[in-house]
């Protein structure tokens, strides 16, 4: 006798702005800065990535000549323009000469023409009274950076004050900055590299607090950017309250070999490539390898910053197809206020930032955020099931009655079943449903047979539901039904939208 089993996947429906919004590390960040973080967070959900290019060290090498050359060769201008405020190899006593923000007019112009900007800073060693030493530890005690009673600590504050002047100049111009200090800290080539991890975290936190609260800079998105070629890139992470975006600096001739991607994703922040380029600067690197690898293996990359000179796309191969790839967003195509997917659907849930407020019963594993089933560059919800006769397996959340979907036509979800276990011995179907009104009346999509090798789109017609009940949604879920008794398998759910 045929029997059925049920798994109810109940979704916490929230409007798109709430569901995808990331809280800025600076809780007093200005509105534009908050909007930009939200925009960057959502880009991978749309299958898009922002382009970027470094333009040099201010004042020694900074210029936009290579940006102009990119425009001539490709017809595109990178979305993000990068500058470094310090030439840490220069020997000068005064921070006024060591730290230079004369690149700001170019950054402001880029911003005003529809771009974004990023600033990193190769600071000289504060243990040296005459500058220089950015690759030399000298006699530095790294903890002295935050000890104001030491000469090193006093000089460090002068560095921060000078940096703050440049960042405030951008703030007054209305510019949000992707700020990437103390990068590649897990390496061994800068004086801030390979320090005690707890001391490093305290130095980062001190910098954050000083620039944010003492200097009142509320236009900064803080980017934590270790190097992919060293182990444990997250070991220096100062905490969620001090970071907006996590990144990796990656120089390799084989983009598929990038290390640390999953470790960084586990920090649950938007992910980027803080610096990118080939490891061999002979002009033979095919930059198309990067964009195809991002698309196939690293879809959570929200932006990249290609390095200049011998690492630049225009000094290598296929710059035109790289910048004109359908996934790449260049300057002039940034739409900070766009909250919709390319199809016009509003994303309700994408499992990009975890599983939300889910509860479950009678599930042998999960639910988990999973990348085993990816749709439109988003993760899925996965659960493992032990099938027993008359078994019911529940995952649920119950939406507040005030939630309204009135005016929308369809509720849509993507579902799949694993290729192993029970799925090989029978058919699994799924229904997308809602329960509405004080009587919790059931409405569903009808049954759709699931596949193990591709997504099945399941749509619920909202036009069949009275408007009053659409204004009183009590529960939303997916009911999976099996055609026969069996053992174990996994089911997946992804990309919940309304249109």
Beta bridge partners of 335: none
Contact at 8 Å (CB) between 107 and 170?
yes
DSSP 112: H
482-494 average pLDDT score? 78
What does the pLDDT read at residue 18? Answer: 35
Residues 164 and 309 in one domain: yes
135-162 average pLDDT score? 95
Residues 367 and 232 in one domain: no
483-493 average pLDDT score? 78
Residues 292 and 154 in one domain: yes
- Tell which wins on pLDDT, 207 or 3: 207
Per DSSP bridges, beta strands 410-417 and 456-461 are antiparallel
Residues 388 and 308 in one domain: no
Residues 360 and 442 in one domain: yes
The 10s digit of each residue's pLDDT in 328-378 is 999 988 988 643 343 445 777 777 667 777 677 668 888 888 878 877 656
Coil, strand or helix at 237: coil
Residues 77 and 222 in one domain: yes
Q: Which of 299, 326, 353 is the last residue of a domain?
A: 326
Beta bridge partners of 49: 328
DSSP 297: T
CB neighbours of residue 253 within 10 Å = 14
Q: Is 263 a catalytic residue?
A: no
Of the pLDDT bands very low, low, confident and very high (cuts 50, 70, 90), residue 9 is very low
Of the pLDDT bands very low, low, confident and very high (cuts 50, 70, 90), residue 90 is confident
- Cα gap 13→495, rounded to integer Å: 12
Residues 206 and 348 in one domain: no
Share of the chain above pLDDT 70, in %: 86
Q: Is 184 a catalytic residue?
A: yes
Q: Is 40 contained in some domain?
A: no
Query: Which of 184, 263, 475, 479 is flagged as catalytic?
Result: 184
Residues 319 and 362 in one domain: no
What does the pLDDT read at residue 212? Answer: 98
Least confident piece of the model among 73-77, 399-403, 455-459: 399-403
Residues 284 and 427 in one domain: no
- Cα gap 300→303, rounded to integer Å: 9
What average pLDDT does the structure give for the chain? 85
For residue 413, the domain's CATH number is 2.60.120.260
pTM score > 0.85 for this model?
A: no
- Tell which wins on pLDDT, 435 or 195: 195
486-493 average pLDDT score? 81
- Tell which wins on pLDDT, 165 or 359: 165
Query: Which of 42, 263, 275, 475 is flagged as catalytic?
Result: 275
The 10s digit of each residue's pLDDT in 280-325 is 999 999 999 999 999 899 999 999 999 999 999 999 999 999 999 9
**Cis peptide, bond prior to residue 367, ω within 30 of zero:** yes
Q: Is 134 contained in some domain?
A: yes
- The tally of domains found in the chain comes to 2
Residues 353 and 225 in one domain: no
Q: Is 23 contained in some domain?
A: no
- Domain range for 93 is 49-326
125-136 average pLDDT score? 89
Query: Does the structure show a pLDDT above 70 at 429?
Result: yes
Query: Does the structure show a pLDDT above 90 at 215?
Result: yes
């Amino acid at each position: 006798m045929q029997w059925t089993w049920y798994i109810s996947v109940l979704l916490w429906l929230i409007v798109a702005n709430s569901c995808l919004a990331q809280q800025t590390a600076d809780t007093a960040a200005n509105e534009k800065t908050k909007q930009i973080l939200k925009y960057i967070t959502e880009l991978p959900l749309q299958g898009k990535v922002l382009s970027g290019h470094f333009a040099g060290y201010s004042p020694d090498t900074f210029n936009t000549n290579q940006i102009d050359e990119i425009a001539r060769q490709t017809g595109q201008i990178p979305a993000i323009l990068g500058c470094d405020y310090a030439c840490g190899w220069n020997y000068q006593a005064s921070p006024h000469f060591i730290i230079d923000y004369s690149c700001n007019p170019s950054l402001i112009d880029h911003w005003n023409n529809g771009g974004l900007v990023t600033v990193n800073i190769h600071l000289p060693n504060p243990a040296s009274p005459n500058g220089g030493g950015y690759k030399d530890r000298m006699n530095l005690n790294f903890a002295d950076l935050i000890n104001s009673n030491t000469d090193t600590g006093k000089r460090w504050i002068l560095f921060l004050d000078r940096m703050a002047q440049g960042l405030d100049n951008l703030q007054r111009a209305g510019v949000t900055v992707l700020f990437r200090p103390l990068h590649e800290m897990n390496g061994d080539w800068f004086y801030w590299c390979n320090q005690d991890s707890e001391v490093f975290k305290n130095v980062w936190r001190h910098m954050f607090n000083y620039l944010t609260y003492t200097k009142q800079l509320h236009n900064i998105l803080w980017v934590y950017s270790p190097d992919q070629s060293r182990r444990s890139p997250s070991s220096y992470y100062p905490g969620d309250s001090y970071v907006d975006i996590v990144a990796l600096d990656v120089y390799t001739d084989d983009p598929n070999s990038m290390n640390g991607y999953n470790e960084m994703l586990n920090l649950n922040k938007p992910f980027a490539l803080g610096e990118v380029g080939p490891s061999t600067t002979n002009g033979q690197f095919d930059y198309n390898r990067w964009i195809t690898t991002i698309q196939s293996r690293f879809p959570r990359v929200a932006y990249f910053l290609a390095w200049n000179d011998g690492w630049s796309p225009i000094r290598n191969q296929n710059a035109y197809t790289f910048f004109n790839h359908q996934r790449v967003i260049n300057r002039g195509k940034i739409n900070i206020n766009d909250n919709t997917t390319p199809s016009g659907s509003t994303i309700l849930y994408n499992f990009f930032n975890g599983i939300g407020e889910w509860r479950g019963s009678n599930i042998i594993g999960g639910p988990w955020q999973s990348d085993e089933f990816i749709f439109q560059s988003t993760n899925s919800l996965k659960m493992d099931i032990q099938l027993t006769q008359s078994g019911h397996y529940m995952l649920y959340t119950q939406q507040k009655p005030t939630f309204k979907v009135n005016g929308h036509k369809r509720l849509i979800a993507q579902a799949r079943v694993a290729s192993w276990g029970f799925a090989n011995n029978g058919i699994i179907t799924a229904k997308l449903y809602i329960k509405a009104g004080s009587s919790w009346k059931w409405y569903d999509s009808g049954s759709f047979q699931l596949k193990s090798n591709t997504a099945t789109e399941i749509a619920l017609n909202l036009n069949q539901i009275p408007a009053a009940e659409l204004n009183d949604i009590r529960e939303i879920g997916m009911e999976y039904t099996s055609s026969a008794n069996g053992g174990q398998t996994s089911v997946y759910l992804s990309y919940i939208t309304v249109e």
